Amino acid sequence: MRNRKSTYIGTIILGMGVLFITPWVGESIMVMNANVGERLSIIPQGVRAWWRFPRLEKENAELQLRLVRALSDSAKITTLENENTQLRALVHVPHSSVIELVPASVIARAPSALGRMISISMGSNQGIHEGLAVLSSDGVLIGTIREVNSHRATVLLITDPLSKIAGISSSNVEGIVSGTTGASLSFDFVPAGAPLHKGEVITTSGIDENIPSGLVVGQIRNISTDTQGLLLTVDALPAFDRLRLQFVVVVKKQL
């Protein structure tokens, strides 16, 4: 009898324990399931991200390459437009039936402001020889051929002190255009009292054997009389900017 009673009481206690523990276990199982579900849902996303990373990296590299190519094409177009503009300007170079014009590119120039020489892409193979006149793309005299090899030539600019060109002013005053140690030109051997005025344009007189007449050389900036009162000191500005020279024209006489 006592054993039955003890068994009965134990059964009641066990039942109450089950009723008490079941909700907690259920909630724990739900939480575990939720956490596992979240983790399981994260795993495919991580796998997808890992799987897509190399593809995104490749696409990024391709886009960067396209950008570089686009910038390069844009730069080439700009260069071609500039070259086209300068080549069109060659139309303004004076033409004659007794001379031949040979276009060339500037391939090198002196690295400093004191340098008064440039190298061009034409040489003796194209009939270029020492002493020929060289013009800018708009027909301004910039210098003469100084040295020549088979495929290139060196041009002595008129701004170099070694350069001497026979010139004439708008008022028909003749003199010698010389380079200086600065950035200007000097119009020498002009007698005092000559009808020369500031702003006049100096052109070539045609006395030099290989230099046609009428080529623009520069413009008179200042006029003064030397200390002895015999000659004028004439300062002129060249009609070109050596740093902007990209294309030139060599004036070659026809045989």
Task: Tell me: do 74 and 170 sit in the same domain.
Answer: no
Residue 183's domain is classified under what CATH number?
2.40.10.340
Contact 182, 165 (CB under 8 A): no
Cα 243 to chain centroid distance, Å, stands at 12
Give the whole-angstrom CA distance, residue 161 versus residue 181: 6
The angle formed by the CA atoms of residues 133, 129 and 217, to the nearest 5 degrees, is 10
> How confident is the model at residue 61, as a pLDDT?
61
Q: Are residues 223 and 188 in the same domain?
A: yes
Picking from 54, 70, 92, the residue at the C-terminal end of a domain is 92
Residues 177 and 58 in one domain: no
Q: What is the pLDDT of residue 228?
A: 85
Last residue of a domain, one of 45, 67, 92: 92
* Of the residues 92, 119, 141, the one at which a domain ends: 92
Q: What angle do CA 134, 97, 152 make, to 5 degrees?
A: 30
Residue 249 β-bridge partners: 103, 135
Block residue for tokens 């028909």: 172
Q: What is the pLDDT of residue 9?
A: 47
Verify that 115 and 161 share a domain, yes or no: yes
- Domain co-membership, 116 together with 224: yes
How many C-beta atoms surround the C-beta of residue 123 within 10 A?
A: 20
What does pTM read for this prediction?
0.62
Q: Are 132 and 118 in contact (CB under 8 A)?
A: no
Range of the domain at 238: 99-253
Q: Please choose, from the candidates 157, 182, 156, 173, the residue with its C-alpha nearest in 3D space to the C-alpha of residue 220.
A: 173
What is the tally of structural domains in the chain?
Answer: 2
- Regarding whether 82 and 113 lie in a shared domain, the answer is no
Taking only Cα atoms into account, the Rg of the chain, rounded to an integer number of angstroms, comes to: 44
Q: Which residue has the tokens 């002013």?
A: 169
pLDDT digit of tens for each residue in the chain (255 aa)? Answer: 444 445 444 444 444 444 444 444 444 444 444 444 444 444 455 445 545 556 666 676 666 556 555 554 554 455 455 555 555 555 455 555 467 888 999 999 876 555 689 999 999 999 999 999 999 988 899 999 999 999 999 999 999 999 999 999 999 999 999 999 887 899 999 999 899 999 999 999 989 888 988 999 999 999 998 888 889 999 999 999 888 888 999 998 644
Same domain, 113 and 229: yes
Do residue 220 and residue 115 come from a single domain? yes
Supply the pLDDT for residue 202: 95
Q: Which helix (H) or strand (E) holds 169?
A: strand 164-169
pLDDT, residue 15, reads: 47
- Residues 165, 58 share a domain: no
